[in-house]
Structure 1
Amino acid sequence: MDKLGAMRAFINVARQGSFAGAARQMGLSRSQINRQVVWLEDSLEVSLFNRTTRKVDLTHAGQAYLANILPVLENLDDAELQLQDNQQSLSGTIKINAPMSFGLTHLTPVVLDFMQAYPQIQVQLDLSDEKRDPLSNQFDMTLRIGPPENNPALIEHDITYTSRCLCAAPEFLQRYGTPGSPNDLKELPCLQYGNLVHGNYWDLLYHNKSQRVRINGVLSSNNGDVLKQAAIKGMGLALLPTFIVGEAIAKGQLVPVLQAWQPAPLLISLLYAPNRHMAMRLSVFVKYIQTAFEDAEFLLEG
């Protein structure tokens, strides 16, 4: 753990009065801020905050520690700003990898806005539904949608979550009937996402109850838009992120089914190699992406 980063996280929590506020300020997830502060407390062997469900207050030890480290970090920040002022502007190249559907529809507009805001930065955007290793492919960062990677060789920066929806075309439901329970999916034509770990199985949740259902896969693809088009044509049931099927649902081309059984949301994250001297352009890009998607309703609503 980077102690300087943990100290900055501690200062921001103290200033904002909350972990959520510090996370927004620093462009990190709340869990990341919490882990940094807990690590700092463990290393100092002291509690820095009194935590309740309503507020976060400094302990006496936390107040003393804040008073001691603030001047040090403020001097460091001043030194960094002086160096940055000597640079003409942020420049260089950022090489990004992302999934095809999300990259085309939602990431590309944000990247283009970023480039207009920082015209001296060049971007190489590689879109592919193949899961590529950011290290061996020399990507500065990779956007992933799915379960946490838990890869010790990479930093995983949580951006947000996207919900998923089980849906079908009205014509399909007229032909086969609307499924009343997950067990009905075993006999109905289903459209399978080819990169799913569990293959021909879908995991659905009812409150805290989970049920895994073996599906009758009639078409598989590693691209969600392919499955969406097949679903609109009435070829089967699809289980897809709302950022892919949300517009089709709004137009009535697809209808949500088994809404009481919701699949778990998927994590959207940025992966990059650990680097204490991360280029400023990359740090600015991460914060830009975080801000662009942290309140994006299309990720959570079909």
Structure 2
Amino acid sequence: MDRFTALQVFRQVAELNGFAEAGRRLGLSPAAISKNIAELEAHAGTRLINRTTRRMALTEEGRIYLEHVVRGLDALTEADEALSPLREGASGTLRVSAPMTVTLTRLSTAIPRFLSLHPGITLDLHLDDRRVDLIREGFDLAIRGSDSLEDSSLIARKLAVMPHVLCAAPSYFEARGKPKAPSDLRWHNCVRFSLSGHADVWEFCKNGRTERIAVAARYSVASSLAVRDALREGFGLSLMPYPYVASDLREGRLQCALEDWSAVETTLYAVYPSRQHLAPKIHAFLDFLAEEFRRS
């Protein structure tokens, strides 16, 4: 038995006071109407309608049952109607998790423009460098940086690639000298971003040769902004995503080293649970992210 269909049949029969009228309303044959009522009565374990060839009437049990059926079917209709605005336009609450530094350096000034373009959306943005569980924690979308995205059931949309540079303040290089090769880093004061996928080993490539240097750091911190502040103060050197230090390099607060070596790259992705039935609010934010990273 299709219980939902049987409940609709029962309601129409009761409200129209007839099997034939209910059949015409629902596009079902008289036999199908009778079959649905019989199966529903078997499921309920009681007679719901007394009927003869000429007339029908609800039993006492049928009247009680009808009250609950009407409330239930109306509630389902209201639930569908509540989703209509969300399906038809970008609206509703959008929960997003994003790394703090990426957001503060690349997105935070543009987000008010996104919200102005989509007045129906309320954005709940969580800045957190940890890797959240989208499903369990109830996020619609997350921005993630990774050297290589792990296998996952999540859908990933590539946003940008961030090269890394080894850098420090001029005062640090004046005091300690610039490393001439990656192996020289063993004698330098490294500052370590502890949440990075390459926090423990820094990798450099040149002319097809790769060198991996184990990082011994006096200062490890779970914030790229804190690493940048330590570099500005001349405390040490670090391997940093270029966009995080671009203005410092331009304005001379920081300088690069090992510029003839290439370092790792971090790819930024927008990840979300499924392509199927993608809500307009998520689609709008994905397009915004793609455009913003393309612009910057």
- Asked if TM exceeds 0.5, the reply is yes
Counterpart amino acid of residue 245 in structure 2: V
Question: CA–CA distance in 2 between the matches of 1:280 and 1:86?
Answer: 7
Question: CA–CA distance in 2 between the matches of 1:271 and 1:236?
Answer: 34
Question: What CA deviation, in whole Å up to 9, does each residue of 1:54-99 have, x standing for no partner?
Answer: xxxxxxxxxxxxxxxxxxxxxxxxxxxxxx9998742111111001
Q: How does 1:242-257 map to 2 (within 5 A)?
A: 242-257=242-257
- Corresponding residue for 1:188? 188
Corresponding position: 1:145 with 2:145: yes
- Corresponding residue for 1:133? 133
- Corresponding residue for 1:91? 91
Computing the radius of gyration from Cα coordinates, the structure with the larger value is 2
Residue pair 1:187, 1:216 contacting (<8 A) in 2 also: no
Question: CA–CA distance in 2 between the matches of 1:252 and 1:199?
Answer: 26
Corresponding position: 1:177 with 2:138: no
In the TM superposition, residue 152 of structure 1 has moved relative to its aligned partner by 2.7
Query: Unaligned 5+ residue runs, structure 2?
Result: 1-83
Q: Which moved more, 1:265-274 or 1:85-94?
A: 85-94
% identical equivalent positions: 24
- Residues 250 and 191 from structure 1, CA distance in 2 versus in 1: closer, same or farther, beyond 3 angstroms? same
Corresponding position: 1:239 with 2:239: yes
Residue pair 1:164, 1:264 contacting (<8 A) in 2 also: yes
Question: CA–CA distance in 2 between the matches of 1:138 and 1:256?
Answer: 41
In the TM superposition, residue 150 of structure 1 has moved relative to its aligned partner by 2.9
Residue pair 2:153, 2:273 contacting (<8 A) in 1 also: yes
Runs of at least 4 residues of structure 1 off by over 2 A?
84-90, 147-152, 196-200
- Corresponding residue for 1:5? none
Q: Which moved more, 1:224-233 or 1:101-110?
A: 101-110
- Residues 149 and 87 from structure 1, CA distance in 2 versus in 1: closer, same or farther, beyond 3 angstroms? closer
- Residues 209 and 113 from structure 1, CA distance in 2 versus in 1: closer, same or farther, beyond 3 angstroms? farther
SS at match of 2:156: strand
- Residues 86 and 283 from structure 1, CA distance in 2 versus in 1: closer, same or farther, beyond 3 angstroms? closer
- Corresponding residue for 2:294? 294
Question: What CA deviation, in whole Å up to 9, does each residue of 1:181-231 have, x standing for no partner?
Answer: 001001110001101334432111224332101233121111011011111
- Corresponding residue for 1:157? 157
Residue pair 1:188, 1:216 contacting (<8 A) in 2 also: no
- Residues 87 and 228 from structure 1, CA distance in 2 versus in 1: closer, same or farther, beyond 3 angstroms? closer
Corresponding position: 1:105 with 2:99: no
SS at match of 1:270: strand
Q: How does 1:2-151 map to 2 (within 5 A)?
A: 89-151=89-151
In the TM superposition, residue 240 of structure 1 has moved relative to its aligned partner by 0.8
Question: CA–CA distance in 2 between the matches of 1:140 and 1:272?
Answer: 6
Residue pair 1:200, 1:217 contacting (<8 A) in 2 also: no
- Residues 278 and 87 from structure 1, CA distance in 2 versus in 1: closer, same or farther, beyond 3 angstroms? closer
Q: Which moved more, 1:138-147 or 1:106-115?
A: 106-115
- Corresponding residue for 1:7? none
- Residues 181 and 243 from structure 1, CA distance in 2 versus in 1: closer, same or farther, beyond 3 angstroms? same
Question: CA–CA distance in 1 between the matches of 2:207 and 2:247?
Answer: 26
SS at match of 2:109: helix
Residue pair 2:86, 2:92 contacting (<8 A) in 1 also: no
- Corresponding residue for 2:224? 224
Provide the TM-score with structure 1 as the length reference: 0.66
Counterpart amino acid of residue 250 in structure 1: R
